[in-house]
Every structure is written in structure tokens, then in C-alpha cells.
């Protein structure tokens, strides 16, 4: 599983211009079962994505299609971790 932390590199006005396209990108990968959860950080200086286990190169290829990546809105920090315990409510 991956935690992807986005940190904005541009002003919120620029983030807002690309937010709808970014959310449409997320919707595609929710439908494909790649993404499990996402949302803005608090304070709102970026966001977090949770992605299923896959080849890291494939994940990077997917992320490179995100409008935030294409427009250099955010930096991406990818953390790979092995899920060894989870809540029964977490359907992963």
C-alpha cells in the first residue's frame, strides 16, 4: 500500500484552477480500484492519497497523469508500506 503526500508548490488560486481536473483524475482511479481514500491536509497545504499495492513504477506512471503533477502544482512524496494490521472496518 502507498501513502502519497502532496504538498502544494503554488498559490491556492492556482490550486483551485486545477482542482476539478484533479478530482476527475482521482475518480478514474477510484473506479479502477487503485485509490482507497484521499483528501486535503489540515492546514490545507496539500493532500493525502492512499493507493493499493502495485508496482511503484506503475504508480508513478499513474500519478504523472494527475493535472497537479502535469501543471507542477504539487510535490509528491510516495511512501510504500506493508499493511500488517488493520481495522475490520477497513476493506482493503
- The Cα 8–Cα 46 span in angstroms is 5
Q: Which domain holds residue 29?
A: 7-80
Give the CATH number of the domain where residue 68 resides.
3.30.70.1060
Q: Is residue 56 part of a domain?
A: yes
- Averaged confidence pLDDT in the chain: 95
Q: Report cis status (omega within 30 of 0) of the bond before 43.
A: yes
Q: Is residue 86 part of a domain?
A: no
Q: Is residue 89 part of a domain?
A: no
User: pTM for this one?
Assistant: 0.92
Compute CA distances 39 → 44, 49, 84, whole Å.
10, 7, 23
Compute CA distances 33 → 10, 30, 69, whole Å.
29, 5, 20
The pLDDT value recorded for residue 90 is 78
The pLDDT value recorded for residue 25 is 98
Number of domains in the chain: 1
The SS3 of residue 16 is helix
Tens digit of each residue's pLDDT (9 = 90 or more) over 32-65: 999 999 999 999 999 999 999 999 999 999 999 9
Q: Mean pLDDT, to the nearest integer, of 65-84?
A: 96
- The Cα 36–Cα 51 span in angstroms is 6
Q: Is residue 90 part of a domain?
A: no
What percent of the chain has a predicted confidence (pLDDT) above 90?
Answer: 89
Q: Is residue 21 part of a domain?
A: yes
The pLDDT value recorded for residue 69 is 97
The pLDDT value recorded for residue 2 is 97
Amino acid at each position: 500500500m502507498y501513502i502519497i503526500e502532496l504538498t502544494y508548490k503554488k498559490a491556492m488560486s492556482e490550486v483551485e484552477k486545477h482542482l476539478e481536473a484533479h478530482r476527475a483524475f482521482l475518480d478514474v482511479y477510484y473506479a479502477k480500484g487503485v485509490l482507497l481514500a484521499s483528501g486535503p491536509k489540515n492546514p490545507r497545504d496539500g493532500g493525502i492519497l492512499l493507493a493499493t499495492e502495485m508496482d511503484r513504477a506503475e504508480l508513478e506512471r499513474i500519478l504523472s497523469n494527475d493535472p497537479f503533477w502535469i501543471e507542477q502544482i504539487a510535490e509528491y512524496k510516495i511512501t510504500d508500506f506493508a499493511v500488517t494490521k488493520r481495522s475490520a472496518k477497513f476493506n482493503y
